[in-house]
Structure 1
């Protein structure tokens, strides 16, 4: 007997103590009944507590449960599977009626084909494993252990070809031993079929571009035969030939050419012309890194900008292609053909936004490099602010040092004609976009700056007079009152603002004119030119709605500002913002200085000092950027900065590459070396000494293991690394986060879906402040499963599992499958329901003892009635007559006594009133009546009651 919840037994003494205290007899005449009731209640409580505690009766079970594990992997073959099912049907003929049987089919996974039941017939198998390319004994045994009932003798019978490919079968067998489960086996063999198998493909790890090389393929064949051998690279056949395959294992050398640079996969497919068992083992891949001279795309921002830098790059051994800004590729695939892109004094205004986004993708996702070379049309003056170019570069365009910002007066001259009520592609009116643009640009001005708004139609009005920007709320409220109506007279608005802005004392004065056209030229170009020459007022012009007028461009040129012909009016807010930022900054610094080397970096390898520079564009370094060269004090602006953006790297050089600011540089012997090293640093290395990457196949999971060390061989800890995994078959990619698991070791895993070559790129998730090369591109080949390999049958493993669990080989004795020679299992039967039933049966007796009054005579009569004892009828009649006579005598005696007493009462006088004479009861006419039966009954009841009290 066992108890499932023994702690509940602690309730028993507590409850019995409570019942005993309240149920102890307290009256002498009730002692017997109270004692019996106490005993009954104690028994009821005891039974209920035992039921709650889960009392079970342990019995030995003679039943046997058998689960068949049927190998459905590809190596078994159809014939072997049919033989296994036939074996099961044969063994079922020897099953006892009470025995249980279940069936599991397995390969790499396991599926329950039949739950455990006592049915003798084997129903058709309707489920099959999913991963037929593998064989996993461990998973199958663990599934069977979960299916077997615990209250029977248990046996597992494995029907297999004895060729597992994954899993730890012995550990599963040890688990079966611990659970008293026997494992026996029946081994089947696949019918002999000639087999051809590609065992190995060897190619050089690194090749040069268009290099001839040898590919060596090792093929195992069970007989001499012919086969067609096809080699593909990048999905295209590069070799096709019929070879004579010798019996056994042989190596064949194929002469190939490497082709263009990059990672190349080489897939070898062998198609036997005769019979073959498995086609899955007829193909195998290898990969090689084909290196080439780095190819650089140079974007020329203007005349003479690339005059010196392109020859220097060619002399440094780089292959160079030169294009104009509007020729920058729109597709990332076209950019991927280049190792790095060099922007030489390029304005972002000359490159469409979508192509700038493509360039950012090329850097962040493909690991491409970008080098930005300065000049008057680059960085801030080149409108890099709030563009993808600013995102990818290590510097930003805003100058955040307040002491360097001159006071600015900016006047917005806004066309409010009726045509400004037109709707943009986003559904917003032009005039509303203008208001939004003004309000947004005000956020980038300093409180000491001044701003005002003039609107014009046929006439001109000051919507917001020139005032300090610290009154932003007032300015924004006034701007919100702008409404579109009337005609267009630009000259009226320009004259109104010119009268006021020339009176401003600010160091910088700027006008932004916004119009959708329809106005006469008048003398506006002369007016704007005079404002610039006499008062230093610059003017930018924004034309929207596709309106083109030559005089608008002339106005911007005369005012030394920018001209924007905007077809998409939704761009207005961004243009206003950039205009406001540019107007407040003096970006170009033109003075001679010697750059200061502030960091050791591969770009400056072998360079201790640089020549003088005569100008640069002011920028602000981003927090995680590496500042390699700085400008003169007191500002020490960045001159050369570098960082990593996504998977790629970018470099920013704030001076130029021409004789404008770098006259001493273009004649410097280190000029080619400097630019070559800057560009080569952005070309991420595919192999390095700091990272060592390997891929380990663990069952169906590919584990990426990266060891990181510095140049001294010490572990690199705390890195944030990730791996991009690309399958060569369809270019599908996935990213794997690598986590540190040991000093200098990082690991991650992915599930390879297909056989073939995989390319892996390991790199930091974000920019890492180190001079080490922490990125690596490598490859890995997933071969076909061992399920299809030519190998010997492993009979030792099956025998070891059987010996460990006291099992055996049942191939020749199917009748022994259901032999009851296993240690019987203990069966635990709960009896709580019987205990509750017994407690319910005792409850009425407890109630009866406390509520029913039973005399000794009642007990005697009950006893005689139960046991069928009847009093003799004659004796009973005689006793009845004597009893009646006795009762009559008693009644007569008692009746005479009562009559005499009543006669005496009647003769006594009744208490009279004051005036009435004395009379007796009889004289009053009262005739007493004595009911003999009532009197007798009342007296008898009283006597019976007294007797019962005496008996109690």
Structure 2
């Protein structure tokens, strides 16, 4: 036990305290007075106690009992060791003292607490928390374990692990434990993995030519002799399957395939063996750029071969799919040099697919062309979508005052089943529809559950912002009752004097009531009211909604992905608002753009129709209509090029153009204008893994050190936040999070002449090192123990051995000192008021003596009276003797008189004595 002072400088106040007490004693020589000395002692004690209290003294009391946290690694590399570890802990707990406490926590990539700190006598029978076993983060595990030990206490962490950390820095956490006086012991855990085979490396040339025999190298690590199947996939299509014999240790295999197609391609290798423990380490990916014929993706809903025929002589490789089969990952688009949407509705394409296409164009230079038709542009529902964003035209058109008047009613389900994404997207869709309307148009909005709720009263749309705000404020409600709300919507539009009236009904459920739908729809038709319906999800009454749309002369939409709802409502609003179709035959006007004017040296064919759009400010418009609407517009979007052709490719709208002799040349010019324009292989690319991050190393082939812009996208199209930095002449590094998967890299760099060049490639971050076949990392475990003065534990009882650095509980005693000072102060007051007991006794003794003397005097009065005569005689005798002496003295003076000098000298001495006394 010891004592510490929080403010030790306060002890210097003792010096003036002693000085003041000294002055008190010196004044009047009080140090000779016993009572004054006692009061002084009490006062100095009070001063000492108060000054010590100001210094905040703390008693260091040793904390009894050890606090131990058992930290268990439960990552994939130590699978199968849980029972053995729990048995070790159980045996260790048997040796703990009465006041010893322990806790159990487990970790991998994350941490869970299995048993809180306490002095329980038994450990848990099994782990009860779930961990992500793909990583081993010893650092976060140690940090968490330290929080279980109180801040004012020391303790011990016993970690069970193989030491193969794949995330974090355990040594840094160990230093923090040392600063807190926490010891770190370890118990070596050996992996129970018996059989495993892992792909260690996959190599393919980063650049190939079409038709080339591409070589693929594959490295396999194994701890067994086993036959295995190797499969290779190119853009998710299997191109090779072969049986191989794998030996224990490192194996190298080579395969080849014929490079086909062109563009950025993803190669994937897989290995499969019987009895293999981990499937996570059985696949790797790599990318390669194949140079050859450009590859074009044509997306169209209806069978049509006009485009294919027009492109037959171009040498371009073609793939044709329907919108519903568009790829759902980024690599599915990067294998193409350009994409054509041939009269495709947005309602069949999810928001995510549109975003992937937009990213492929912006960051990787893939071209994009949209052709017109009744299901394209604004009529297709592309208003405010990622596709509209990349196009050189807006879906809204000029001349809105020429459009027919419109009354639009949106009837939206707000029942409880719509809660979440469906309701949010439905509200967003309704808000988009409002933005497409004119202020002269009429809008009404009804949200219903078991009854209709009129959110926006039916009337002219004077304040769009207010209407949008009301729509977005809708919250989910109760049940579903459709008929009453639909009946109200028809009633609101019935008497309005408008050229077009349209209702959009959107629901994800079935109505709880029935009604005469046919009657209200027929009455609505007499008043020029049409009805379209949208069924969301599997629970919607599809039969009813499809029947309602058919009776109401509208359209029925069956929605499985809620993200298409905004496109549906946009399309419905556009089709109800205006046709957008300019169908008066005309001769287009060709502007002075050399690459296009050369096609029209013999004249411009007649065109039948097109969809009206508005060119964006930076767009180029080589071909215009007679109304100066864009027929063909183009621009640069990111590093990609896009074109909007507002007529069609079938001849129905394009008219004489489809029969024109240079029609194939025109189609080829559309495609070639959008093909990527970038240099090949300006950089060497390699990837290295670090702690919680990976580094992409770029080396300029031309050894240039000009600034670059790098964009990294994941397989699902999510942008990865990163930045590129120059680390050496011609060498760059791009840091990305270490997350397994395929990534695509787009690099832009301005050359000496200011021209922007671009390069696209891909790279893969392989599976976690957790699945590598490695032994125990004893070096790391020893380092951690050495930092904290811990050790390796071989004996279970050692977990609760006494700590080398004891912890103490600090207890402040200032209040006790102040209390004692007050007690002494009151004692001093009592002494000064009533006196010290010993002094009072001496006074009483003196008084008694006086009383005794008085008594004796009274008793002796009689004796004195009797002897008075004798005393008088003696007194007379004494007086006579005195008189005689006086006479003799005077006689002597007369006989020997003093001289004047002696008298003056005597007087002088008397005066000097008098002065000294004064």
TM tier, smaller: 0.5 to 0.7
Inter-CA distance 15–206: structure 2 relative to 1 (3 Å threshold): farther
In the alignment, the residues of structure 2 paired with residue 663 and residue 722 of structure 1 have an alpha-carbon distance, to the nearest angstrom, of 41
Look up the SS of the partner of 1:780 in the other structure: strand
Residues 882-917 of structure 1, C-alpha deviations (whole Å, 9 max, x = no match): 69989999xxxxxxxxxxxxxxxxxxxxxxxxxxxx
Check the 8 A contact 2:138/2:168 in 1, yes or no.
Answer: yes
1:735 aligns to what?
718
Alpha-carbon displacement from aligned partner over 1:233-276 (angstroms, at most 9, x marks no partner): 58898777765444443334567788999855545333246xx7
2:310–2:667: 8 Å Cα contact kept in structure 1? yes
Match of 2:634 in 1: 641
CA drift at 1:789 = 0.5
State the distance in 1 between where 2:670 and 2:640 align.
Answer: 18
Return closer, same or farther for 1:126/1:384 CA change in 2, 3 Å cut-off.
Answer: closer
Report the equivalent of 1:758.
742
CA distance in 2, matches of 1:355, 1:778: 29
Residue aligned with 1:783, SS? coil
CA distance in structure 2 between the partners assigned to 1:386 and 1:77 by the alignment? 53
Deviation of 1:315 after TM superposition, in Å, equals 1.7
Q: How does 1:467-478 map to 2 (within 5 A)?
A: none
Partner of residue 621, structure 1:
615
Query: What corresponds to 1:677 in structure 2?
Result: 672
Match of 1:313 among 304, 311, 322: 311
Query: C-alpha distance in 2, partners of 1:334/1:190?
Result: 39
| Distance in 2 separating the partners of 1:108 and 1:489 | 64
Q: Secondary structure at the match of 1:56?
A: strand
1:780 aligns with 2:752: no
Structure 1 residue 294 displacement after superposition = 1.9
Partner of 2:773: 789
CA separation in 2, counterparts of 1:333 and 1:254? 28
Aligned residues: 709
Shift in Å at residue 219 of structure 1? 3.6
Preserved contact between residue 61 and residue 151 of structure 1 (Cα < 8 Å): no
Pair 1:589–1:426, CA change in 2 (3 A): same
Conserved 8 A contact 1:198-1:281: no
Where 1:843 maps in the other structure, the secondary structure is helix
What is the distance in 1 between the residues matched to 2:706 and 2:625? 38
**Contact 1:643/1:651 (<8 A) preserved:** no
- Mapped partners of 1:641, 1:155: distance in 2: 69
The CA deviation string for residues 481-529 of structure 1, in whole angstroms up to 9 with x for no partner, is: x998899999xxxxxxxxxxxxxxxxxxxxxxxx96669xxxxxxxxxx
Superposed counterparts of 1:839-858, under 5 Å: 839-847=818-826, 849-850=828-829, 854-856=833-835
| Cα 1:132/1:442, change in 2 over 3 Å | closer
Cα separation, 1, equivalents of 2:158 and 2:105: 10
Out of 57, 67, 70, the residue aligned to residue 55 of structure 1 is 57
1:196 and 1:129 map into 2 onto residues whose CA distance is 26
> Counterparts of 1:298 and 1:114 in 2: how far apart (Å)?
58
Give the superposed CA RMSD.
7.2
Going from structure 1 to structure 2, the CA distance change for 1:181 and 1:289 (only over 3 Å counts) comes to same
| Pair 1:836-2:849 in alignment | no
Structure-2 residue corresponding to 1:286: 285
Deviation larger for 843-852 or 371-380? 371-380
Distance in structure 1 (CA, Å) of the matches to 2:791 and 2:764: 42
- Residues of 1 paired with 2:494 and 2:659: CA distance? 58
CA–CA distance in 1 between the matches of 2:242 and 2:703? 50
Distance in 2 (alpha carbons) for counterparts of 1:740 and 1:489:
56
Question: How has the CA–CA distance of structure 1 residues 121 and 779 changed in structure 2, closer, same or farther, with 3 Å as cutoff?
Answer: same
Determine whether 1:231 maps to 2:231. yes
1:359-415 per-position Cα deviation (integer Å, ceiling 9, x unaligned): 9567447767542457999979x8999586755531236676xxxx79x8888699x
The residue that corresponds to 1:130 in the other structure is 131
Map 1:485-524 onto structure 2 (within 5 A): none
**Change beyond 3 A, Cα 1:734–1:35:** farther
How is 1:644-663 mapped onto 2 (pairs within 5 angstroms)? 644=637, 650-653=642-645
Asked if 2 retains the 8 angstrom alpha-carbon contact of 1:73 and 1:132, the reply is yes
CA distance in structure 2 between the aligned counterparts of 1:330 and 1:638, rounded to whole angstroms: 28
Deviation at 1:839, TM superposition (A): 2.0
Helix, strand or coil at the partner of 1:680: coil
Deviation per residue, 1:562-600 (Å, 9 max, x gap): xx9656999997557537x999xx999857655246xxx
Query: Partners in 1 of 2:383 and 2:283 — Cα distance?
Result: 49
The aligned residue for residue 897 of structure 2 is none
1:268 aligns with 2:270: yes
**Partner residue of 1:354?**
347
Cα distance, 1:218 vs. partner?
3.6
Contact 1:488 1:518 in 2 (8 A): no
- Report the equivalent of 1:578: 578
1:651 deviation in Å? Answer: 1.1
Structure 1 residues 607-627: Cα deviation after superposition (integer angstroms, max 9, x where no partner): 99765675998864324x443
- Give, in whole Å, the separation in 2 of the partners of 1:250 and 1:671: 54
CA drift at 1:2: 7.3
Q: Deviations over 1:157-198 (max 9, x none)?
A: 666555555544444555566667666656565689566554
Shift of 1:40: 6.7
Q: Give the Cα separation in 2 of the matches to 1:572 and 1:196.
A: 56
Matched-pair contact (CA < 8 Å) for 1:71–1:160: yes
Q: 1-side partners of 2:599 and 2:701: how far apart?
A: 29
**Residue 387 and residue 35 in structure 1: after superposition, are their counterparts in 2 closer, same or farther (change >3 A)?**
same
Q: CA deviation at 1:680?
A: 2.7
Q: 1:487 to 1:656 in 2, by over 3 A?
A: closer
Contact 1:313 1:676 in 2 (8 A): no
Superposition TM-score, scaled by structure 1 size:
0.53
Q: In the TM superposition, what is the alpha-carbon distance from 1:37 to its structure 2 partner?
A: 8.8
- The CA distance in 2 between the partners of 1:160 and 1:377, in whole Å, is 62
Correspondence list, 1:519-538, <5 A: none
Distance in 1, matches of 2:772 and 2:149, equals 32
Structure 2 residue runs without a partner (length 5+): 414-432, 442-459, 464-490, 500-522, 533-551, 557-567, 749-753, 860-918
CA distance in 2, matches of 1:425, 1:120: 65
Per-residue Cα deviation, 1:19-55 (whole angstroms, up to 9, x for no partner) = 99xx9999999x9999999997886576456446532
Instruction: Tell whether the 8 Å contact from 1:72 to 1:81 is kept in structure 2 after alignment.
Output: no
The 2-side partners of 1:740 and 1:343 are apart by 34
TM-score (norm. length: structure 2): 0.55
Q: 1:582 to 1:589 in 2, by over 3 A?
A: same
State whether residues 441 and 576 of structure 1, in contact with CA within 8 Å, keep that contact through their aligned partners in structure 2.
no
Tell whether the 8 Å contact from 1:165 to 1:787 is kept in structure 2 after alignment: no
Change (3 A) 1:232 1:484: closer
